Structure 1
Amino acid sequence: MNVGLGTVLLPIDVQRGFDEPSWPPRWNGEMEANGRALLAHWRAAGAPIIHVRHVSVQPGSSLAPGHWGSAFREGFEPQGEEPVLSKSVNSAFIGTDLDLRLRRLGAERIVTFGISTDMCVSTTIRTGANMGWTFVLAADACDCFDLPDGLGGTIPATAIQAAHVATLAMEFCEVTTTADLLGRPSPADR
């Protein structure tokens, strides 16, 4: 993908708090390497990045202000003048000035990734697409959790990821890989 000033990278909630034991297991061991590669690529191109951080208002949350978990994961900290947008709900567009920031940047499309695919990443894409924004999801730079199915069982994170990526691709965004975004052959093509 040709990364220029009109293509904004939007990493969503890549925070340490998701490592707290209270969170269920995650599946994507490649999420961090892929996300860091995307950040490096955007920085090398001088293209805009807006970091999104979840600031929980729920008491005891691992993503609450002042909690160690509110910090960005290692390698995902903003550099220089890269802005940080804080949100307290799933969508980065609700209760924030993200739409205005994107318009001021002259954004033509938004490439996004982060934690978790089925929650804040999906909700941000859905809201933004309904507002008219063009999204690209780097699916292999996302992660999600095993979740209870409400019937005493567990839905594996890989199934949750697959279902949400398929739904997003059907109507809300283009889905691609980190390799494609970086202009590299994917592992399957090697």
Structure 2
Amino acid sequence: MQRGMNDPTAGERNNPGAESNIQRLLAGWRNTDWPVVHVRHNSRTPGSPFWPGQPGAEFQPALAPLSHEHVVEKNVPDAFTHSGLERWLNVRGIKQLVIVGVSTSNSVEATARTAGNLGLDTHVVADATFTFAKRDYAGTYRTANEVHAMSLANLEGEYAAIIHTNDALTLLTAFRPYPLQSGEFSAY
């Protein structure tokens, strides 16, 4: 959740309450001392709002990591590719993920697909993610809600469970406490 995601040139988006839901989830995870991983996209394209050192590459203040929270740096949509995230999770025995953020049709979908392919118990929070309107391959304009719904449909079942914020907060009581004992699982 970097500042560049609020750039008006990104176009029409959906889920205007996504940031509030992410804040609720972040507070819930922090209150139960569950591990949290923040992902920062560093663009390889000069002039991008996510180019390192630009204001857009910084985290939104309300969603910024605490000093003890893990930050993954990536430069492709998938948070697992060339980032060390898989190893970080494996070292801690974490097998369950709750994914929030942006954009549903890009980084969220790419990351959830990899997580599912790795055999992780993956949850994507539909109302704590958002995306932008775009034209499909045939040139038909698709609203942000349509793009979002299709991305979630692509993930549902095969790669992840699609849930909502209240469901994710309920998971906090179902997951076992952190730190882990040998062979146990956790979530972030």
Q: TM-score scaled to structure 2, two decimals?
A: 0.86
SS where residue 79 of structure 1 aligns?
coil
Range 162-171 or range 86-95, more displaced = 162-171
Q: Cα offset for 1:108?
A: 2.1
The alignment-based identity, stated in percent, is 35
Task: Give unmatched runs, 5+ long, in structure 2.
Answer: 172-188
The alpha-carbon distance between structure 1 residues 172 and 151, as it changes in their structure 2 partners (threshold 3 A), is: closer
How far does the alpha carbon of each residue in 1:102-152 deviate from its partner, in whole angstroms, 9 at most, with x for none? 011210201111000010000011112112222111111000001123555
Secondary structure of the residue aligned to 2:79 is coil
Deviations, residues 151-182 of structure 1 (Å, cap 9, x unaligned): 55421010111111112113111111101122
Query: In the alignment, which residue of structure 1 is the partner of 2:167?
Result: 180
- Structural mapping, 1:17-96, within 5 Å: 17-96=4-83
Q: Could you tell which deviates more after superposition, 161-170 or 52-61?
A: 161-170
Q: Deviations over 1:4-52 (max 9, x none)?
A: xxxxxxxxxx111022232111111110010000000000000000101
Partner Cα distance (1:86, 1:36) in 2: 21
What residue number does 2:158 align with? Answer: 171
2:127 corresponds to which of 140, 149, 166: 140
Alignment of 1:3-14 (within 5 A): 14=1
Moved over 2 A (4+): 148-153
Structure 1 counterpart of 2:149: 162
SS of the residue corresponding to residue 160 of structure 1 reads: helix
Alpha-carbon distance in 2 for matches of 1:130, 1:183: 25
Partner letter of residue 71 of structure 2? V
Structure 2 contact 98–168 (Cα < 8 Å) conserved: no
State the Cα RMSD in Å: 1.5
Distance 2:85 2:170 in 1: 28
TM-score, normalization by structure 1: 0.86
Q: Does 1:106 align with 2:93?
A: yes
Unaligned runs of 5+ in 1: 1-13, 185-190
SS in 1 for 2:62: coil
Offset at 1:183?
2.9
2:115: which partner in 1?
128
Mean Cα deviation higher: 38-47 or 160-169? 160-169
